[in-house]
Each structure stands twice: as C-alpha cells, then as structure tokens.
Structure 1
Amino acid sequence: MTDIMQVKGLTFKNEKKKHWFAQPEIFQLGPIELNVKRGETIAIIGENRSGKSLLAKLLVGAVEANSGEIVLNNNVYDARFNKKASRNSRTSDIRMIFQHSNESMNPALTVGRILDEPLRLNTGSDEATRKAIISDNLVKVGLLREHYYFYQHMLSDGQQQRVALARSIMLQPKVLVADEPFAALDPTIRSQTVNLILKLQQEMGLAFVFISHNLGIVRHIADKLIVMQDGNIVEAGKTETLFRWPQHEVTKKLILAYQSLVPQQTLR
C-alpha cells in the first residue's frame, strides 16, 4: 500500500494565562511525523491531555499549526494555512467525523440540505447532480433515498450517526479523522457503525485515523497504533505487536488497564 497522507514536522505551541499574575500554562505538541497508507486504519491513544484531540484538529485544519506540512494524495499543504485557501483546498481530501451526531445537525434543516452544504461550497455541481450524489451516499451508509427529506427529530441515534458519516464522505475524501466517534453510541449502534466504516473502507479505499479510549475497538479494527504523551508520539507500531509487547511505560499502563477489564480467557 502507498502512503495517502504524510505529516512532516507538525508542531503547535499554546500559552494560556489563567489570570494576570499566574505563570502561563504552556502546551507544546510535536514535532509529529506520521504516515498513513491507503485503506489503513490508525488509532491514536494516550492519557488525558496527551495531545490526541489537538492532533486530530491539526490534521483537518480546525486548528492552525505553528509549523509543518501535510501531504495528501501527493498534494503538499502548509499546516499553518496562513492563507485561507491553503486550508480550504485540502477539505475534499481529509474530512472529520463528529462524535455527537445529534449536536452537529441543524434541526431546522432536512438531511438533504445538511448533506448538500459541503457539495455546494466545495464543488461546481448543479442542484440535480448534487441531489443524485446525496441520494447515492445515503444508500451507501445504509439509509434510504427518502431520508433526504427527513428532519433530525425523525431519525434514531443510529440513523443520525449514519447521516454524519454520509456527510464526511460527501466529497470523496481519502482520509477520515474522528475523535472518539463511538463514545456516544450504545453497544448495538457502535457495532453497526464500526462494521459500516470497515465496509466503506473496503469500497472506497479510505484511510481512517481515529482517537479512542475503547481499546477493545482499537484492537479490533486498527492496523497501526500510535501512543501519545505530553504532545509527542512515544510509541508506534502494528496494533497486535503493541498489545502483546508494549515497550513504553504509558503503553504498558494503558494495555494493562484494558486487560484488567477483559475476561482472561479472551486474551489467550
């Protein structure tokens, strides 16, 4: 598999002053070096305030980096996006899946209008073409074409999550990034969503980068595991290798905590 995304020298520094006389609270991330292959699933884990969510936001351009570049589908983007166009030009190649699908949907808009927005803002397609694309993607995520006319209150939690997924693939991205995409779902819907993402990966060749505290899901779907601490990657490798032979103390702590919650016979 070839690299679909390369992250080079990505850094971020933030200083926060709580009040006038206090020392500033400084958090520094990176430099981060990261390669993602086409169709690969990468999980990012770590303790709280390790920089996982910040890294996800930097990748999709929701937060501006201090330095670094991101290569997406052989296109090089400055992660600082000093010019707005630098951020907007990569929106079709990398998209975000929101954790709380119900909070990311405008209840006053139909599903069709919600899904139309990324197409209307990022493509030159006419209304009929956009509607056909939306209908096809609704079917692709397991919904009906008729859901185009539904409002949020007419959808179950699982259906809302599928709408969020449909929105994330509307521009035919190469990489999906998600911060705790399964945390707000009940076990049944979570299992359905995981299987749907795996299906879409196979069909579309998507790479999936996700942050999760659920190491059971991580072990099940991730090809590669990245462990973060204090804004840095402290260990990375194949998922099963790190689960069986963790080297860094943080990795050992996280794996041990997971294993203590799993019946021992399932670990053999």
Structure 2
Amino acid sequence: MSEVMLVNGLTFKHNKQNRWLKKPEVFALGPIELSVNRSETIAIIGENRSGKSLLAKLLVGAVKADEGEIFLSNVTYNAAKKKSTKSYNSSNDIRMIFQHSTEAMNPGIPVGRILDEPLALNTDLDEKARRRRIEETLVQVGLLRDHYYFYRHMLSDGQQQRVAIARAMILQPKILVADEPFAALDPSVRSQTVNLILSLQKELGLAFIFITHNLGIVRHIADKIIVMENGKIVESGKTETIFRWPQHKMTKKLIESYQSLVPQQTLT
C-alpha cells in the first residue's frame, strides 16, 4: 500500500474560561504522528473528551492547528497556517462524511444542487461536466441518475446517507473522514453503509478514517486502530493485534467493555 497522508507534530491547545473557576480549562491535543495508506481503514477510538472528534476536524481543516505539518497528495502544508509552497486545496483530497445525513441536507434544495456546490466552488468544470460527474457519483453510491432531482423528503434514510457519501466523494478525494458515521443509523441501513464503503474502497482505493464507539464495527472493517486519551495517541496497531493483546490501560478498558457486550451486540 502506498502512503496518501503523513501527519507530523500536529498540535492544538484550547483555553476555555469557566466563570466558576479561577483558572481556565486547558485542553491540549498532540503532538500527533500519523500515517495513512491507500485503501486503508483506520478507526480512532477512546472515551468522550479524548480528542477523537477534534483530531478529525484538524485533519480535514475544519479547525486550525497550532503547530504541525500534513503531507497530502505530494504536498506538505503547514496545518497551522493552512499554506503550502504550491497552489493547493486540501479539501479536494480529504473529505468528511456527516454523521446526521438528514440534518446535513437542505430540504429546499434538490440533490443535484447539493452535489453541484462543491464542484462549482473547487473545480474549473463547466456545467455539463459537473452534471456528468454528479450523475456518475450518484450511480457509484448505489443511487439513480434521476435522484439528481429529488428533495430530502423524497429519500429514505439509507438514500440520504448515500447522498452524504456522494457529497464527500464528489471531488474524488483520496481519504474520507467520518465522526460516528454509523451511530444514527438503524441496523439495516448501517450494514448497507458499511458494505458500500468497503465496496468503494476496493473499487477506488479510498482510505477511510472513522471515529466510533462501536468496537464491533471496528473489528469488522478496520485495518488499524488508534486509541486516544486526553488528547494523546496512547496506542496504535493492527486491529486484531489490539483486540488480542491490548497494552495500554485505556485500550484494555475499552476492549474489556466491548467483550462484556459481545453476546448482545451485532457487528454490522
């Protein structure tokens, strides 16, 4: 597998003033070292407030880091300044899938316009080429070309989730990032979504980074696991190795909690 992203020294510090406390609350993340390979699936796990969601936002550029560099698509850029020595838009190569697909879709705008917006803003494609890309992407995620004209209320939950994936894929990224992408889905839609992502990975070589509390899904689809605690990566490794021989106390806690629920838990 070839490397599609390398993260060096990614650091973030947040000071939050609490009026009931004399000192501000300080949350520091990093420094984070991370590499992602083509077609690789990485799961980021940890307890609440461990920094998982913040790391996802830093990777896609939704939050500016204080320090660090990200090597992506043969360009190294400063994650704090969001600048590189080349003309570069990181969002074209790494995109985010929204957790709540219903909330992410404007009910007054048809699917075609939703998917056209990122193309119009980030590419030089003309209207005809954008329309062709949109229809191709709809088919890729298991929808019909005619869904171009559909509004949110005309779509099932599963179809709305596929539109969310199509929007993340429309710029043909190399990496998809998702924060709890399966949490709001019922079991049947969750299973369909997992299978769709696995199929797209096989077809396109996409890397997938996802945050979840569902260790059943992690064990089913992840190649590698990253465990976070208090803004730090405390353990990482191949999925089966982490499940069989966890080393850090936080990893052991998460695995033991999962194993106690296995008889009642469906993996997909």
Give TM-score, length-normalised by structure 1. Answer: 0.95
* Mapping 1:47-58, distance limit 5 Å: 47-58=47-58
In 1, the alpha carbon distance for the partners of 2:33 and 2:187 equals 34
Q: CA deviation at 1:88?
A: 6.8
Three-state SS of the structure 2 residue aligned to 1:263 is helix
CA contact (8 A) 2:219 2:240 kept: yes
Q: Which amino acid aligns with 2:57?
A: K
Three-state SS of the structure 2 residue aligned to 1:23 is coil
List gaps (5 residues or longer) in structure 1. none
In 1, the alpha carbon distance for the partners of 2:82 and 2:51 equals 22
In 1, the alpha carbon distance for the partners of 2:229 and 2:86 equals 29
Q: CA deviation at 1:81?
A: 2.8
Corresponding residue number in structure 1 for 2:46: 46
In 1, the alpha carbon distance for the partners of 2:221 and 2:171 equals 24
In 1, the alpha carbon distance for the partners of 2:87 and 2:24 equals 29
Over the matched positions of the two proteins, sequence identity in percent amounts to: 70
Corresponding residue number in structure 1 for 2:114: 114
In 2, the alpha carbon distance for the partners of 1:74 and 1:86 equals 10
* Mapping 1:128-207, distance limit 5 Å: 128-207=128-207
Corresponding residue number in structure 1 for 2:78: 78
Q: Which amino acid aligns with 1:112?
A: G
CA contact (8 A) 2:78 2:84 kept: no
Q: Which amino acid aligns with 2:55?
A: L
Corresponding residue number in structure 1 for 2:15: 15
Q: CA deviation at 1:85?
A: 11
Corresponding residue number in structure 2 for 1:27: 27
After superposing on structure 2, the runs of 4+ consecutive aligned residues of structure 1 that deviate more than 2 Å are 81-88
Q: Which amino acid aligns with 1:18?
A: N
Corresponding residue number in structure 1 for 2:66: 66
Superposed CA RMSD in Å reads: 1.8
Corresponding residue number in structure 2 for 1:127: 127
Moved more, 100-109 or 16-25: 16-25
Three-state SS of the structure 2 residue aligned to 1:68 is strand
* Distance of aligned partners of 1:111 and 1:255 in 2 relative to their CA distance in 1, 3 Å threshold: same
1:240 aligns with 2:240: yes
In 2, the alpha carbon distance for the partners of 1:81 and 1:238 equals 33
Q: Which amino acid aligns with 1:32?
A: I
Moved more, 34-43 or 11-20: 11-20
Q: CA deviation at 1:77?
A: 1.5
Give TM-score, length-normalised by structure 2. Answer: 0.95
